[in-house]
Amino acid sequence: MTPPSSFRTNSTARVPIRQPLGGRWGLPTPKGRPGGAATAHRGTKHWHAVHRTVRVLHHPCAKVEFGEGVSSVLVERDQETDRLTRLLFGGAREGSRHAVISGVVASGKTALLHQVTDTAGTRGVRVLNAVASAFEQEFPYAVIEQLYQGMPARHQHARPRPGLDTPHSPHGPHQADLPLLQAFHRALDELTAEAPLLIAIDDVQYADLPSLRALAYGIRRCRSEALSVVLTRGALTGPAGPALDELLHRPNACHVRLAPLTVAGVTTLLTEELGPAEAERHAAAFHDLTGGNLLLLRGLLDDRFSRLTCAPRDTAPGTGTPAPGELFRQAALSCVYRGGPAHHRIAQGIALLGDASSARRLSKLVAIEERQVRQAVAALTEVGILHEAQFRSADVRTVLLDDLPADELARLHHRAARLLHEEGADPIDVAGHLLHHELAEPVEEWIPETLRDAARHAVAADRMELAVNCLQMAHRCTTDERETLILQVTMVEAMWPFNPLSQLRRLQSLAGPASNGQLPTEYAIPVLLRLLTLGQTAEAAAALGRIGRDASPGSELDTTLRTIDLALASTFPGSPELRTFVERAEPDGPRAGGPPAAEQTPECPQLTAGKALRTVLSHGADDRAVEAAERVLETTRLSDPTMPTVHAALQVLIYADRLATATTWCDQLIEQCERRGAKGVLAAFRALRAQIALRAGRLPDAVRYAERALEELPARGWGVAVGVPLAMLVNAHTAMGHHDTAAEILARPVPEEMFRSRYGLHYLYARACHQLATGRQHAALTGFRACGEKMTAWGLDSPAMLPWRLGAAETWLTLGSQDRAARLAQEQLELTGEAPSRTRGAALRVLAATRPVSERPALLQQAVTVLQETGGWYEMARALADLAEAHKHLGDLDTSRLMTRRALRLADGCGAEELSRSLQRTPGRTALSEAARTGEDTTTFSELSDAESRVAALAASGYTNREIAAKLYITISTVEQHLTRVYRKINISQRRDLPASLDFDVAHTA
């Protein structure tokens, strides 16, 4: 195609400069599609204008700062050039010679044609040039008129003038007139008689039909050996196909097919621009983006030049890396436009669908027959736009979609959505098209349901923005009341894990429909579960009662209801509205939750976790229940539907004091929630992490996790479950001695319904502990008793839950009633059993306080041993403090000081500031120990090796040489040698003078 004069370029070959038809001949732009077919897309006038512009701007012969002209374009074309040269200009021959150069868009056909015409000019061969154009295809003799321009003046009288004085054939507008055919034939005979003649036509596939017939007529009858014909052609298009076939496939024709450049060819081409090193480094990347297409390569390099022009002079190395920009995108658009309107529309259809994997679907989308679609896909693949049915560059897809008018884009998206829906595609893929435009009225019935299904799939895939968009559009386009309610439930479920507060009003509006049957069962269940969290037990009970009437034994719904009953029995046992469901919960037992027998069908994870939690809360730590919980955590992926199951399984580990395992799982779950951004779920797991830290005696960690939980989800969004993070905060601050802070937390309002749930038990116990610590013994005693009465009445009075008896016993001790305290402590000890547990260690400590001083060390030493094994560091610090006090009363001051140091170290490590202060006031501390704690004269401690520091720290904490040897895996002799060197370095003479705060933390290894 010849560039119009308004787009003149610095060409490296002889390209005729012509004006567009409308400028030279004053003719209107053709209304029809090339080939006479009416366009179904955008209007041919617009397509022709854009096609003309982008084609000229990216003409293969245009020198746009790209190396040294034609030589650069003719990379990997040496064999083709030699073949054409031998054919056209070499040796003797019989008759005319005929060559056809074919290839995809921008493969270098025009450049090779110009090489041939240049060679012909140097050898005295007359050249008649013509360039066919898609927007001239409907003008008769447009190509023949160009050939006449190169003839001598004596032939100009026969020159046709397209659109003005061209004789019209009586046989139709696309038929050639016989006198004109004869005149053209005579002109060829005369010219070949004078000198060799070469006819060179570029893009012959766009030639008009009369010109094609005239060419075929003249060439067929001109048998002169002086005549040569060279044609370049792309894909055959329109009704010109048969006539063009006659011209192209002559018996003596030589066909040359140009393939895109290989990686080696791209390397050669880039060497001129980037240098050998950078070309070798980046050639593969350039080839991946372009498929070896010259026009796309030029676009990439032009974008690079543009960036370098705008970049600072000291641009970093590696600027040869291909980065598609505006020029590359325009080059890609040019490649697509050159294939014709149908080709362009197919490419836009591929961009809309995302790939070309289904020719049948693509054919239906763009309303073009499937055969033509397959041809276009093959052409786009060869031209470098596609690779394995995918776009090589996302920029190409973007520019094709941007090139569509908004209304046409909307229509295509709607058609694509319908096609995908009819094929049963993923609802998310269907919704992706529906969301690109606002639906017109009336809305087809399948659309709201598809959008709702897409939202559910998006929620499962953690694509929350997509889910919300789908639900909002579905709500806008539905008029059915039931469907509207279902969409509201789906919206609540989608948003609740991320922002529960935003859904409170919508959830409350669904309470009525859930209980009166307006909502289907599968949507009523999540509503009633959320209502339970908010403490709306009456509405939840009404919905649960209605749903229960529809359940048949053994059905999926029956299993769901059994799981809900177990959850109610474990969490809401004190609600009168829910009593019926609590009572029908499956009976628990000490071996519940174990793996099923070989002949039994494995139960669902929801039931397994529910039974395990019920067992631990009713009977205490149970190995089978713990194993079941771990099995659930290992086999259940965290998602919104499985969150209650995972949460229950994790609670089993916490109440059973499997704190190390619980910490590992909880940290993993917190990390998953952080990645998802699910703040509502994240807050729940942070509250459990605070509970783990509190049971382990890590008081600052308990405060930190509980505060984070309440930051991520304010109290209003917790409902009755707010009792857990508040209780953790109150317990931790009380143990740390921050009584004012704990009082402020207790002053916050809480839901009344909370006190009829398990969450309220934690709150009551924490409040009673605070009252005891602040000297309100009678209020504390009332609180502990209330907690115990509820636990007993609800069947949750297990050692794993809350040691309310120990709280009451300590309260009686402060009131001077040792008998009552002893009875409660003994009762708690019997309930815990012989297995080591945190509660057993605490019970031994309280029981020791009720015994004579002489009996206390033995019980306290048992308590220390049990707590050391189970990891209750705060309780262990308290036991050591009591042991130090007992030895002091018995006159064993050395042991008392050792126990004090050990208790102080643990108290400091746990963050128990009040306990630490009380221990620091203990008489008998050495001056060296005080200096070490206050940081005075500590320079000598830096002289200790790591091994000496470890041994000295353990010795200062009260461990014997044998215990130190066992803990550090060394011999007793090595321990003694280390201690001897430590005494000498820090200038002490005996073990009791070891400082209590050496720079080695043994609080969690003691």
User: How far apart, in whole angstroms, are the C-alpha atoms of residue 506 and residue 490?
Assistant: 11
pLDDT at 224: 80
pLDDT at 340: 78
Give the residue-averaged pLDDT of 198-213.
91
pTM of the model: 0.68
Does 600 score more than 90 pLDDT?
no
Does 923 score more than 90 pLDDT?
no
Which DSSP letter does residue 202 get? E
What is the per-residue pLDDT across 651-664, written as a single tens digit (0 to 9) for each? Answer: 999 999 999 999 99
Which one is predicted more confidently, 494 or 315? 494
What is the per-residue pLDDT across 1-24, written as a single tens digit (0 to 9) for each? Answer: 333 333 333 333 333 333 333 332
Give the residue-averaged pLDDT of 63-90.
66
Does 996 score more than 80 pLDDT?
no
Average pLDDT, the chain: 83
Q: Lowest-confidence range among 48-62, 881-895, 936-950? A: 48-62
Give the residue-averaged pLDDT of 829-838.
89
pLDDT at 310: 60
Percent of the chain with pLDDT over 70: 83
Does 619 score more than 70 pLDDT?
yes
Does 827 score more than 60 pLDDT?
yes
Does 72 score more than 80 pLDDT?
no
Does 751 score more than 90 pLDDT?
yes
Does 557 score more than 60 pLDDT?
yes
Which one is predicted more confidently, 824 or 871? 824
Give the residue-averaged pLDDT of 880-885.
94
DSSP class per residue in 826-859: HHHHHHH-SS--HHHHHHHHHHHHTS-GGGHHHH
pLDDT at 812: 95
Give the residue-averaged pLDDT of 353-378.
92
pLDDT at 34: 34
Does 316 score more than 70 pLDDT?
no
Model confidence at 940, pLDDT cuts 50, 70, 90, reads low
pLDDT at 156: 84
Domains in the chain (CATH in brackets) are: 5-57 (no CATH), 76-259 (3.40.50.300), 817-919 (1.25.40.10), 932-1006 (1.10.10.10)
Which one is predicted more confidently, 76 or 442? 76
Beta bridge partners of 729: none
Give the residue-averaged pLDDT of 842-860.
95
Does 747 score more than 70 pLDDT?
yes
What is the per-residue pLDDT across 895-922, written as a single tens digit (0 to 9) for each? Answer: 998 899 899 989 998 999 999 988 886 4
pLDDT at 137: 83
Q: Name the strand (E) or helix (H) holding 387.
A: strand 386-387
Q: Lowest-confidence range among 289-293, 807-811, 993-997? A: 993-997
pLDDT at 66: 35
Give the residue-averaged pLDDT of 371-399.
92
CB 269 within 8 A of CB 237: no
What is the per-residue pLDDT across 603-618, written as a single tens digit (0 to 9) for each? Answer: 889 999 999 999 999 9
Model confidence at 237, pLDDT cuts 50, 70, 90, reads low
Does 25 score more than 50 pLDDT?
no
User: How far apart, in whole angstroms, are the C-alpha atoms of residue 144 and residue 212?
Assistant: 8
| Residue 988 φ/ψ, nearest 5 degrees | -130, 170
Q: Angle, nearest 10°, between helix axes 679-696 and 723-736?
A: 30
Q: What is the 3-state secondary structure (H, E, C) of 453-494?
A: HHHHHHHHCCCHHHHHHHHHHHHHHCCCHHHHHHHHHHHHHH
Closest among 677, 620, 613 to 645, alpha carbons compared: 613
Based on the number of CB atoms within 10 Å of its own CB, is 69 exposed (0-12), middle (13-18) or buried (19 or more)? middle
Which one is predicted more confidently, 9 or 241? 241
Which one is predicted more confidently, 164 or 131? 131
Based on the number of CB atoms within 10 Å of its own CB, is 201 exposed (0-12), middle (13-18) or buried (19 or more)? buried
Model confidence at 994, pLDDT cuts 50, 70, 90, reads confident
Does 104 score more than 90 pLDDT?
no
Residue 812: CB atoms within 10 Å: 22
What is the per-residue pLDDT across 146-194, written as a single tens digit (0 to 9) for each? Answer: 999 999 988 888 788 765 444 444 444 455 688 888 899 999 999 999 9
CB 233 within 8 A of CB 204: yes
Does 863 score more than 60 pLDDT?
yes
What is the per-residue pLDDT across 459-508, written as a single tens digit (0 to 9) for each? Answer: 878 788 899 999 999 988 888 888 899 999 999 988 898 889 989 999 99
Give the residue-averaged pLDDT of 73-92.
82
| Residue 717 φ/ψ, nearest 5 degrees | -85, -10
pLDDT at 997: 54
The Cα-based distances of 517 to 534, 648, 868 in angstroms read 21, 29, 56
The owner of tokens 């909002």 is 472
Model confidence at 992, pLDDT cuts 50, 70, 90, reads low
Does 879 score more than 70 pLDDT?
yes
Does 281 score more than 80 pLDDT?
yes
The owner of tokens 């050996």 is 225
pLDDT at 24: 28
pLDDT at 938: 47
